[in-house]
Amino acid sequence: MPRTAAGTTAEASSVILAAQFWKPQTKISGIYVRSFPTKLQDGSVSECHQFLCAKPEVIEIPTNEKGRVDFKNGKATKVDKFAVGALTGIEMALDAVKVNAPWFRQFELRDKVTFTCTGVQAGQNGNSDMPEFLIEVER
């Protein structure tokens, strides 16, 4: 008997938690699903990582009609998936995880990952504020 598989666009989509979302002590855990490239406003490409919400199981975030996070005009939307990436603080914390845990090179399917915003560093020279993170990976 042949094997079959299916997937939907809705299963693959999720909100990307931008810098404005993260406030000190914000803590979210998720189960790693996949990584994907995303195009930034300056045209460069960066990697995002998608997770199913674990704790809390649902988060509420303002999104616009395109499903993007919008803190100015967005409507409160409950989501059970989120993506992170393309933030300097996330990339720096992931680099530290790699140094501190030789077994970790990249996320793997079903990793439980907890993101805790430990603070926000004020932007300098016209740069935006940078959330800082503690990232914990359980495999």
DSSP string, the chain: --------HHHH--EE--GGG--TT-EEEEEEEEEEEEE-TTS-EEEEEEEEEEESS-EEEEE-TTS-B-TTTPEEEEESEEEEES-HHHHHHHHHHHHH-TT-SS--TT-EEEEEEEEEEPP-TTPPPEEEEEEEEE-
70 located within any domain = yes
Residue 128 has a pLDDT of 85
Range of the domain at 42: 13-138
Residue 135 has a pLDDT of 98
73 located within any domain = yes
2 located within any domain = no
Counting the structural domains of the chain, the total is 1
Residue 35 has a pLDDT of 95
Residue 120 has a pLDDT of 96
38 located within any domain = yes
Q: Note down pLDDT in tens along the chain; length 139 residues.
A: 899 988 887 777 888 998 999 999 999 999 999 999 988 888 889 899 999 999 999 999 999 888 788 989 999 999 999 999 879 999 999 999 999 999 999 999 999 999 999 999 998 888 889 999 999 999 9
8 located within any domain = no
Residue 43 has a pLDDT of 87
